């Protein structure tokens, strides 16, 4: 897993950027990484650091979301 940055603003920024890029609400991101909307709000506001398990789930989602999409041809010639 990606190591957790020690600065709250850096973590907050990563959460916000990914959530907006994925067109998710705070509630939707929370459901994906299994935390409540309020926790997402507090992390994005730089008030708290995510728990290590939460950080791992966030990094997994971030990695999956940032992978390029591979489009397979519908018919082979």
Q: Which domains does the chain have, with CATH numbers?
A: 8-66 (1.10.260.40)
| Residue 51 DSSP class | P
Report d(CA 46, CA 68) in Å as an integer. Answer: 29
pTM of the model: 0.79
Structure tokens at 48: 């708290």
Tens of pLDDT, residue by residue, the chain (77 residues) = 566 667 899 999 999 999 999 999 999 999 999 999 999 999 999 999 999 999 999 999 999 988 766 555 555 55
Determine phi and psi for 45, rounding to 5 degrees: -85, -5
CB atoms within 10 A of CB 50: 22
Cβ atoms within 10 Å, residue 21: 11
């Amino acid at each position: 897993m990606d190591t957790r940055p020690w600065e709250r603003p850096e973590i907050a920024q990563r959460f916000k950027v990914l959530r907006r890029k994925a067109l998710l609400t705070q509630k939707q991101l929370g459901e994906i990484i299994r935390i409540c909307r309020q926790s997402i709000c507090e992390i994005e506001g730089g008030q708290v650091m995510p728990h290590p398990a939460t950080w791992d789930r966030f990094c997994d989602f971030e990695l999956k979301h940032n992978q390029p999409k591979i489009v397979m041809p519908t018919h082979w010639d």
